[in-house]
């Protein structure tokens, strides 16, 4: 049996004094003790709480993978007016 969910992804960008931590989202499927990333979007925000809330909403609403890119685009539009 497999379980599909969205998870928060933490990433370090740059090195030394230029380094920063950013967060993204990934669609993942867990099965047989393994996790397979289906699709991910990195560096959505430096604000971990905003990304965690976004991930929580995606999981709560059971966003289908075919709509993943659209909801990420909507998130960015809300966050940055893009």
Angle between the 68-80 and 48-60 helix axes, to the nearest 10 degrees? 140
Q: How far apart are CA 43 and CA 10, in angstroms?
A: 8
User: pLDDT at position 2, please?
Assistant: 55
Domain boundaries, the chain: 3-80
**Band (12; pLDDT cuts 50, 70, 90):** very high
pLDDT digits (tens, 9 = 90+) for 16-64: 888 999 999 999 998 888 889 999 999 999 999 999 999 999 999 999 9
User: pLDDT at position 32, please?
Assistant: 85
Tokens of 49: 């709480």
């Amino acid at each position: 049996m497999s379980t599909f969910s969205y998870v928060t992804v933490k990433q370090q960008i740059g090195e030394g004094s230029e380094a920063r931590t950013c967060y993204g989202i990934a669609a993942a499927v867990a099965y047989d003790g393994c996790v397979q990333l289906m699709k991910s979007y990195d560096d959505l925000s430096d604000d971990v709480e905003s990304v965690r809330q976004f991930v929580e909403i995606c999981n709560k609403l059971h966003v289908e993978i075919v709509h993943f890119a659209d909801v990420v685009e909507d998130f960015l539009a809300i966050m940055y007016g893009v």
